[in-house]
Structure 1
Amino acid sequence: MLTFVWAEDENGVIGKEGELPWSLPNDMKFFKEVTLTGNVLMGRKTLESIPNPPLKNRINVVLTRNTEFEKKDIIILNTKDEVLELAKTMDKPLHIIGGADIFNMFVNDVDRLYRTLIHETFEGDVYMPSIDYSLFDLVETVEGHVDEKNIHAHTFQIFERKHA
């Protein structure tokens, strides 16, 4: 199973200069809870944005066009087909965590969406690719708790792809 796990603002912003444009510990907790149920796939730039990679207790897979790229304790793949073949061999979901090019590459293949929608707008330079939500059912919505550490209103949403 392939999933997307991401946070976006009301305009679809998902990043700014290689980082998240907001601080939202609730989202980091949600991200960790979801991704610990499987393994993670990301692009090289997303990997480089993570402090102290790889993400612990998950198989980390990086998809990059750079055939020379190497990183200890990380599976490096160079094509979409290699990712799809690897995903078939995994007994856990492969959670796609970014960036935008990787999301865009798998938008027609993804089975489940885990979206944190932040009810504000931020400056950013990376946007979530367009998703046809008519192909998915919204199966769960949870309002995020706002407090002194989580100052941005947010909603956690889970979508499942419809099957004909």
Structure 2
Amino acid sequence: MAEKVLIWAQTQDGTIAMNGMIPWHVQDDMKFFAQTTKNQVVLMGRNTMLSLNGCPLPNRINLVLTHQKTLEVPSGFHLVNSMEAAEKIADAADKKLMVIGGKGIYDSYLPIADQLLITYLDTDFHGDVLMDPIKDEWKKELYASGGANENNDYAYQIWNYQRSSNS
């Protein structure tokens, strides 16, 4: 069964998006995202797909989860209408299922996820899409951190959460 990994970046107040966009530039986090999701199956919602401007992420199987069975997706994206269908594709490819947004898809996968990779940015945006705080059922370990510099608008910490065996 494919491992289900959720990956996102957020500000201290939980903001993951503002006006349909990610309102920051943290090159180290983008590099981490690219390396972590490369050669995996990425699962996203319609709005996340639209934010990619019709360009699927290279070297990945790009899945769009939607209830709209007739949604037209650009070349390189594959439409799936259920979580089970997405998981079957990841299983068949023997890849991790990397959930990359948006909030509704994260919320659907949080109860069954195996791992969370969350980048916390040292800022607040008071955006219009916010994640809820992570509950105590996860063991967490600091993966990486860095300061603000010419490549990163803000200092950051990347945390690796693994589901506790007693949850």
Question: Is the pair's TM-score, using the shorter chain for normalization, greater than 0.5?
Answer: yes
User: Residues 38-82 of structure 1: CA distance to partner in whole angstroms, max 9, x if unpaired?
Assistant: 220000100000144110000000001111113222221112232
Q: How does 1:1-164 map to 2 (within 5 A)?
A: 1-71=3-73, 72-132=75-135, 134-164=136-166
What SS does the aligned partner of 2:5 have? strand
Does the Cα contact within 8 Å between 1:104 and 1:129 map onto a contact in 2? no
Once residues 145 and 30 of structure 1 are traced to their aligned partners in structure 2, the CA distance between those partners, rounded to angstroms, is 15
Unaligned runs of 5+ in 1: none
Once residues 43 and 111 of structure 1 are traced to their aligned partners in structure 2, the CA distance between those partners, rounded to angstroms, is 20
Does the Cα contact within 8 Å between 2:117 and 2:161 map onto a contact in 1? yes
User: What residue identity is the alignment partner of 1:118?
Assistant: L
User: What residue identity is the alignment partner of 1:128?
Assistant: M
What SS does the aligned partner of 2:111 have? coil
Does the Cα contact within 8 Å between 1:38 and 1:92 map onto a contact in 2? yes
Does the Cα contact within 8 Å between 2:24 and 2:153 map onto a contact in 1? no
How far did residue 130 of structure 1 move?
4.4
What SS does the aligned partner of 1:84 have? helix
User: Residues 101-145 of structure 1: CA distance to partner in whole angstroms, max 9, x if unpaired?
Assistant: 00001111111111110011013111124432x221113332124
Aligned length: 163
Q: Cα 1:91–1:26, aligned 2, differ >3 Å: closer, same or farther?
A: same
How far did residue 36 of structure 1 move?
0.8
Does the Cα contact within 8 Å between 1:107 and 1:131 map onto a contact in 2? no
User: Please, what TM-score do these two structures have when normalized by structure 2?
Assistant: 0.90
User: Please, what TM-score do these two structures have when normalized by structure 1?
Assistant: 0.91
Once residues 76 and 56 of structure 1 are traced to their aligned partners in structure 2, the CA distance between those partners, rounded to angstroms, is 17
User: What residue identity is the alignment partner of 1:31?
Assistant: F
User: What residue identity is the alignment partner of 1:53?
Assistant: C
RMSD of aligned alpha carbons: 1.6
Question: Identity over the aligned pairs, expressed in percent?
Answer: 33
What SS does the aligned partner of 2:48 have? helix
